[in-house]
Amino acid sequence: MTKQEIEKNVELIREISGCDPYKCMRCGKCSGSCPSFNEMDIKPHQFASYIINGNVEELVSSKSLWKCLSCFACIERCPRNVEPGKLIDAARQLVERERGGDHLQAEDIPELLNEDVPQQLLVSAYRRYRR
Amino acid sequence: MQRIGVFVCHCGSNIAATVDVKKVVELVRYEPGVVFADDYMYMCSEAGQEKIIEAIKENKLTGLVICSCSPRMHEKTFRACAEKAGLNPYMVEIANIREQCSWIHKDREEATEKAVILARAAIAKVNLNTPLQEGESPVIKRALVIGGGIAGIQTALDIADAGYPVDIVEREPSIGGRMSQFDKTFPTLDCASCILTPKMVEVNQHPNITLYTYSEVEGVAGYVGNFEVQIKKKARSVDMAACTGCGECQAKCPLGKMGKIPSEFDRGLKNRPAIYMPFAQAVPAVPVIDRENCTYFKTGKCGVCAKICPSKAINYEQEDEIVTEKYGAIVVATGFDIINLDKYGEYAYNESPDVITSIELERLMNAAGPTGGHLERMSDHKQPKDIVFIQCVGSRCDDEKGKPYCSKVCCMYTAKHAMLIKDHWPDTNVTVFYIDVRTPGKNFDEFYRRAVEQYHVNYIKGQVGKVIPQPDGSLMVQGVDLLDNKQIMKKTDMVVLAAAIEPNKGVRKIATMLTASIDNNDFLTEAHAKLRPVESPTAGIFLSGMAQGPKDIPETVSQAGAAAVKVVGLLAKDKLKTNPCTAKCDPMFCNGCSTCANVCPYGAITYEDQLVRGPGVNETRRVAIVNNALCQGCGACTTACPSGAMDLQGFSNRQITTEVDAICQ
């Protein structure tokens, strides 16, 4: 990736996730919560620094990308609202978008919405199980 | 026409780096009224002030405009300087070209233009300034300290030792506050009550100190040097003069054995009777009846305490009493509490009795505590063999997740707890999960290192994600070791949470009554974060202890002393100069509508019938009168007045509109 591509991707991840990786204080509560920790090569508490340092390429090609269960434990417990689960989900979307693999048509989504189910869970579940 | 001198300060490079000071001087020189303009490196320095004095004398100046830093910084300085040269100090205006110009702009040309505009506005104002005279108000030589913890105790003792009478108002039945709940204190590990109790006794016996325990501040009126405070003494139901503190009533109260009322002092780890002293060394050593729980007050039956009291001190008929007292100064020392942990379900605090807060651990380790100082699990009363401490619970959080600040004391008290446990029960396994260990302070880092090196406390950099109570009664802790990049699953017997501290809930009400400002976290705000750290922006209100921000005992005691000195400095004066920038009513326009009195936060406005004479007017009518001693010059009445009769001296409507005109030129 060129420097510009990296910057674009970092910006895209921040935009999709709505999270500010600079808020991370590296307390590790996400990694202390993550049920997939042992399966991951890049650990949840490292997601923010990978994005800050522009190491998006490593992040999107990591095992962690597909090992995150979207259980939301890290999102729920993150004391600084960095929400690593949203960051990694945004990185997944980068990959999906590149593949042109939006399995859901945008216009289908309103039909599928259920107020009791977190929207992000719905989207990530679809993406995972239809792969 | 005024003869105005304009002085532009470089403030080293603070202003000069962004504003072309010489150009400002050249451009303002021809403003109406200006007869002299000059610049200098540091206007506030002695040489700078000499320059001003000289210019006033040589050019017969009648008004000054100083283009410099914020008036909060040096208005006083320059007013005094003008006074030295024989000018009325209220003929000085400051154009703030530092905080509001050079510091916030990057472009030199634009900043210079703005500096000129700000100077022009100040010049326009000075043209309309009139000399104002400061009044005088007397100082009542008595101080009030709100809160009887270590901060309040130390402040009161220092003021009393200087020879001034002090009253302490404490909400609880005894003084002593949080510190009286502690077991040992860092970094020297002396026992908290051994160093606190003598001070509590000293307070009680000091001829200059009056104690109002089980009492609350109900209302505050007045102003610096002259506050009038209403104190509600809640009915103790025990005659303080008759009671000898023998403790018979507590021992015999039937509710004591039934164990229904959790002891506040023991953080609910123990129960107490309905008639009780919070702890054995309570000052005063007089119990109170908790009327909400007492059987006699609920049903009219029982009365055991009255029957057995050897000195007939029980008085069920006692009523709340309001005492009104006058004070020259008030110190707020309302202290802290720890946050509610309901939000942090992952730590299972509400699920397991073996997950406790640090302050509960203090009680469990205290020889006078619920277990007599024997550390045990609240679930099965067994001694824990493995203990996990979790740091930063609710501290250093993003806004809605908790408190944004570092609670400052947790790293040190956790090291203390860890060491004390290892010292008493060396075979206990102690683990501390931390984000950072913060130990700035004399002998603090050495203290923490001792926990690691001498006592082999296991410090792990990383946070705990979840605490899971197990069917066998143990606790599973899931956390991370960031330095080893490993997730940890650890079985333990007890978890101790370093819960964030927060200002005492009551402080909001008190701050409102005192018109003392508080910040987003409800900590009291200082008049200046660096240069006036123990004073509230509200004159006559002083700050002591945790109410102002997180701090440990050594710092609290230092701050208490500092607040006491400020109070003594105020009480030592016989008279105070009053601010002449007060509201003034023009009876010609006033129709006595009462709008101004309704908006006045200081109760400074009254009405009287006055003979009003003028062109076409000759009648007696109701007009507003401003009490200059009470008026703080906030200007609320001037904006509220529908007929434009109210005006603020020194900030008249005409002066302000002229300033606006000058800016919009």
Question: How many angstroms away from the CA of A107 is the closest CA of chain B?
Answer: 34
Do residues B521 and B405 lie in contact, with contact meaning Cβ atoms separated by under 8 Å? yes
**Least CB–CB distance from B478: residue in A33, A43, A80:** A33
Do residues B596 and B586 lie in contact, with contact meaning Cβ atoms separated by under 8 Å? no
Question: How many angstroms away from the CA of A6 is the closest CA of chain B?
Answer: 26
Report the chain B residue with the minimal C-alpha distance to residue A30.
Answer: B465
**Least CB–CB distance from B398: residue in A45, A73, A79:** A79
Task: Mutate one of B434, B482, B488, B489 to test the A interface: name it (highest A CB count within 10 A).
Answer: B482
Q: What is the C-alpha separation between B658 and B400, in angstroms, rounded?
A: 45
Domain CATH for B596: 3.30.70.3270
Q: Which residues contact A129 (CB under 8 A, 6 or more apart)?
A: none
Report the chain A residue with the minimal C-alpha distance to residue B403.
Answer: A79
Both tokens of A130, joined, read 């239809």
Report the chain B residue with the minimal C-alpha distance to residue A80.
Answer: B398
In degrees, rounded to 5, the angle at the alpha carbon of residue B496 between the alpha carbons of residues B492 and B501 is 160
- Say if residue B47 is in the same domain as residue B100: yes
Question: Is residue B286, in this structure, part of any structural domain at all?
Answer: yes
Which alpha helices (DSSP H) does B304-396 contain, by range? 304-308, 358-365
- Say if residue B328 is in the same domain as residue B184: yes
Set of chain A residues whose Cβ sits within 8 Å of the Cβ of B463: 27-29, 32
The bridge status of strand B605-614 relative to strand B34-40 is unpaired
| pLDDT 10s digits, B147-188 | 999 999 999 999 999 999 999 999 999 999 999 999 999 999
- Number of domains within chain A: 1
Spell out where B173-262 has E strands: 184-185, 190-191, 209-212, 215-223, 226-233
Identify the pLDDT of residue A128: 56
Identify the pLDDT of residue B278: 95
Which alpha helices (DSSP H) does A19-118 contain, by range? 44-52, 56-60, 64-67, 73-77, 84-99, 109-112
- Say if residue B559 is in the same domain as residue B619: no
Q: Which residues contact B623 (CB under 8 A, 6 or more apart)?
A: B585, B587, B590, B592, B607, B608, B609, B610, B612, B645
The model's pTM is: 0.86
Interface check for A22 against chain B (CB to CB < 8 A): the answer is no
* More confidently predicted of A45 and A99: A45
- Say if residue B31 is in the same domain as residue B77: yes
Question: Is residue B148, in this structure, part of any structural domain at all?
Answer: yes
- Number of domains within chain B: 5
Task: Mutate one of B487, B489, B495 to test the A interface: name it (highest A CB count within 10 A).
Answer: B487
- Say if residue B418 is in the same domain as residue B493: yes
Question: How many angstroms away from the CA of B460 is the closest CA of chain A?
Answer: 11
Question: Is residue B240, in this structure, part of any structural domain at all?
Answer: no
**Least CB–CB distance from B465: residue in A73, A80, A81:** A73
- Say if residue B355 is in the same domain as residue B331: no
- Say if residue B344 is in the same domain as residue B280: no
| Residue B86 Rama label (left phi>0; alpha psi -120 to 50; beta) | left
**Least CB–CB distance from B463: residue in A29, A37, A76:** A29
Q: What is the C-alpha separation between B117 and B660, in angstroms, rounded?
A: 10
Average pLDDT, chain B: 95
Domain CATH for B110: 3.40.50
Set of chain B residues whose Cβ sits within 8 Å of the Cβ of A21: none
Whether residue B466 and residue A33 make contact (CB cut-off 8 A), yes or no, is yes
Q: Which residues contact B526 (CB under 8 A, 6 or more apart)?
A: B532, B533, B534, B535, B536, B537, B543, B548
Q: Which residues contact B83 (CB under 8 A, 6 or more apart)?
A: B89
Site of tokens 């999960």: B433
Site of tokens 């000071």: B21
Whose CA is closest to B490, among B473, B506, B518, B468? B468
- Asked whether residue A131 carries a pLDDT value surpassing 60, the answer given is no
Question: Is residue B531, in this structure, part of any structural domain at all?
Answer: no
Domain CATH for A38: 1.10.1060
**Least CB–CB distance from B482: residue in A33, A45, A81:** A45
Q: Which residues contact B338 (CB under 8 A, 6 or more apart)?
A: B357, B358, B359, B499, B500, B501, B502
- Say if residue B491 is in the same domain as residue B406: yes
Range of the domain at B291: 248-308
Identify the pLDDT of residue A103: 63
Domain CATH for B188: 3.50.50.60
Residue numbers of chain B with a pLDDT score lower than 70: none
Q: Which helix (H) or strand (E) holds B192?
A: helix B192-205
Whether residue A26 and residue B482 make contact (CB cut-off 8 A), yes or no, is yes
- Say if residue B49 is in the same domain as residue B80: yes
Q: What is the C-alpha separation between B421 and B120, in angstroms, rounded?
A: 69
| pLDDT 10s digits, A50-83 | 999 999 999 999 999 999 999 999 999 999 999 9
- Which A residues 28-87 touch B at CB under 8 Å? 28-34, 37-38, 43, 45, 73-74, 76-81
- Say if residue B256 is in the same domain as residue B328: no
| Residue B56 Rama label (left phi>0; alpha psi -120 to 50; beta) | alpha
- Say if residue B464 is in the same domain as residue B589: no
Which alpha helices (DSSP H) does B206-247 contain, by range? none
Question: Is residue B267, in this structure, part of any structural domain at all?
Answer: yes
**Least CB–CB distance from A43: residue in B396, B401, B485:** B485
- Say if residue B194 is in the same domain as residue B54: no
Range of the domain at A37: 3-129
Q: What is the C-alpha separation between B67 and B123, in angstroms, rounded?
A: 10
Identify the pLDDT of residue A102: 59
Q: What is the C-alpha separation between B357 and B182, in angstroms, rounded?
A: 13
Q: What is the C-alpha separation between B103 and B126, in angstroms, rounded?
A: 25
| Residue B437 Rama label (left phi>0; alpha psi -120 to 50; beta) | beta
Both tokens of B258, joined, read 């039934």
Question: How many angstroms away from the CA of A67 is the closest CA of chain B?
Answer: 16
Whose CA is closest to B222, among B138, B282, B306? B138
